[in-house]
Amino acid sequence: MEKKKYNILLLEDNPVDRRLIENMLSRMDNILSCTSTDCLLDGKRILRNENIDVLLLDLHLADSSTEQTLVWMKDQNLPVVVITGSIESCVITDIYKNNAQGYLLKGEFNEYLLERYIVNAYERVYNQEALCRSKEVLEETVRHKTQALNESKNKIERDLQDLMLAQDNLRLSEQCYRSLIDNISVGLALISPEMTMLTSNQQMQRWFPRAGDVSSGLCYNLFHGLSQGQRCEFCPVALTFEDGQMHEVISKIETDQGVRDYRIVSSPIKNQSNRTVMAVEMMEDVTDRMKSQKALALEKERYQSLVDNLPGAVYRLKKDQGWKLEFISSEIENITGYPVSDMLEVRQCVLEAMIHEEDKARILKEAHDMERCRSSYSMEYRIKNRKGMVIWVYDRSRGLYDDFGNVIAVEGVLFDVTENKGVEK
């Protein structure tokens, strides 16, 4: 590393001391230049115009007292070594108080000591300046880091508050969701691919008490008892895990209340790879519904048998469909020659179209009066069958009304009374 060379300013009013110090400086290889003067005014001018590294200063100058020189020295921002003949403690204290880096007593230092003081004074000032700059940089860095830490702390606190709020909302949502699924009349369960029941709602646990203990094993054991060692043949959940589709089945299951009919629907829960990772099993007790459906079907069968065995044709006309036939029994084909399918396909009232022209006005008036009076009616009139032959019919009908008293349909029975009239078909 290249050795630092110094530009020196020597302020000394004693010519002998000045020459002595100049000679010492001239023999030092690290001194670049030495400018000297005996008065402070010249020293100020030199400092303004030249680049000085170290100031060698005698406190008593031709134009400045010791006190004046000390005051001036305090304001100088460069290394200062005081060369003085006084060893009074007050003077030494003042030297250091006014920013000098050291002092030498005249007649008691040599060339080596002077060089050391010059180097130490320079390094102390500029090291101190570097230290101050480093301190400023460090303080600024600490300030920025502290500000960043405070911002991070505030953000973490805000995020924590948001997280706590989200957790509270999630807990509330979970409570609402749990309350919802626990208060519906449908049993719900979450099933793993290993057919283990992960959780279930209260309705499922009421039907199958073992379902409340999900640690007890596989779903078919929970539903059917521990004696069953393999999955149910009808299991829609197993099918869902096989093909990833929804499946539905109605199955009879033995419970504490006896054998019940359950509608079981299995729906897949898939991950981002579209792989079924869980299945939702929904169970609905349809025992009463199926009983009602069977009873209704039986009643319908009995009603149909009764209608089919009547010697007349049972019919219903809907007003909002232009008095179109909604229903008519098979006997109508024996009476008119038209099959049921043909008569139901006609958009308008096919019965009205078959009424004999001479009877039509009377029949329509009586029907209108019946609608107004909300009464049933019986009447005989002529119609033309499919072959164009005139036949007599006996029509016994009544109106059906809504809550506002408006007729919405007409139901009746149509009998062939041609023979009673003695008329050839």
Q: In the structure encoding, which two tokens stand for residue 101, read together? A: 């880096």
User: In the prediction, which pLDDT does 81 show?
Assistant: 93
Give the pLDDT band of residue 231 (cuts 50, 70, 90). low
Element (H, E) at 69: helix 66-74
Per-residue pLDDT at 230 exceeds 70: no
- Where is pLDDT greater, at 254 or 326? 326
Write out pLDDT tens, residues 339-355: 988 888 875 567 788 88
User: In the prediction, which pLDDT does 347 show?
Assistant: 57
Per-residue pLDDT at 19 exceeds 90: yes
What is the rounded average pLDDT of the residues 223-238? 69
Long-range contacts of 416-421 (CB under 8 A, 24+ apart): 416/312, 416/334, 416/335, 416/391, 416/392, 417/380, 417/392, 417/393, 418/391, 418/392, 420/392, 421/392
User: In the prediction, which pLDDT does 225 show?
Assistant: 60
Per-residue pLDDT at 180 exceeds 50: yes
User: 6-130 and 310-421 share one CATH topology?
Assistant: no
- Where is pLDDT greater, at 422 or 106? 106
Q: In the structure encoding, which two tokens stand for residue 318, read together? A: 């809907």
Burial of 27 (0-12, 13-18, 19+ CB in 10 A): exposed
From 232, 236, 140, 88, select the one nearest 223 (Cα to Cα): 232
Strand, helix or coil for residue 105: strand
User: In the prediction, which pLDDT does 125 show?
Assistant: 85
Per-residue pLDDT at 172 exceeds 90: no
Q: What is the largest CA-CA distance in the chain?
A: 175
Q: Which fold has domain 6-130?
A: Rossmann fold (3.40.50)
What is the rounded average pLDDT of the residues 167-179? 78
| Alpha-carbon distances of 303 from 93, 258, 298, 299, 310, rounded to whole Å | 130, 32, 8, 6, 11
Q: In the structure encoding, which two tokens stand for residue 384, read together? A: 């033309």
Is the Cβ–Cβ distance between 220 and 231 less than 8 Å?
yes
Share of the chain above pLDDT 70, in %: 93
Strand locations in 271-421, DSSP E?
276-285, 313-318, 324-328, 377-384, 390-401, 407-416
Q: What is the DSSP string of 206-233?
A: HH-GGGG-GGG-BHHHHHH-TT--S--T
Per-residue pLDDT at 116 exceeds 90: yes
User: In the prediction, which pLDDT does 1 show?
Assistant: 58
Per-residue pLDDT at 35 exceeds 90: yes
From 83, 85, 88, select the one nearest 101 (Cα to Cα): 83
Share of the chain above pLDDT 90, in %: 27
Write out pLDDT tens, residues 362-391: 888 887 777 777 777 888 999 999 898 999
Burial 284-315 (b: 16+ CB within 10 A, else e): bbbbeeeeeeeeeeeeeeeeeeebeeeebbbb
User: In the prediction, which pLDDT does 257 show?
Assistant: 77
Is the Cβ–Cβ distance between 56 and 79 less than 8 Å?
no
From 90, 36, 45, select the one nearest 66 (Cα to Cα): 90
Per-residue pLDDT at 224 exceeds 70: no
Is the Cβ–Cβ distance between 264 and 281 less than 8 Å?
yes
Give the pLDDT band of residue 405 (cuts 50, 70, 90). confident
Q: Is the dihedral of CA 138, 144, 146, 152 positive or negative?
A: negative
Q: In the structure encoding, which two tokens stand for residue 328, read together? A: 């008519």
Is the Cβ–Cβ distance between 102 and 125 less than 8 Å?
no
| Alpha-carbon distances of 301 from 295, 304, 308, 338, 412, rounded to whole Å | 10, 5, 10, 24, 19
Q: Which fold has domain 187-291?
A: Beta-Lactamase (3.30.450)
From 191, 249, 188, select the one nearest 218 (Cα to Cα): 191
Report the distance separating Cα 199 and Cα 195, nearest Å: 12
Per-residue pLDDT at 9 exceeds 90: yes
Is the Cβ–Cβ distance between 101 and 81 less than 8 Å?
yes
In the chain, where the domains are located: 6-130, 187-291, 310-421
Element (H, E) at 357: helix 357-373
Give the pLDDT band of residue 425 (cuts 50, 70, 90). very low
Give the pLDDT band of residue 208 (cuts 50, 70, 90). confident
**Span of 199-203, 228-232, 357-361 with lowest mean pLDDT:** 228-232
Is the Cβ–Cβ distance between 47 and 9 less than 8 Å?
yes
User: In the prediction, which pLDDT does 113 show?
Assistant: 94
Q: Which CATH number fits domain 310-421: 3.40.228.10, 3.30.450.20, 3.30.70.120, 2.40.50.100?
A: 3.30.450.20
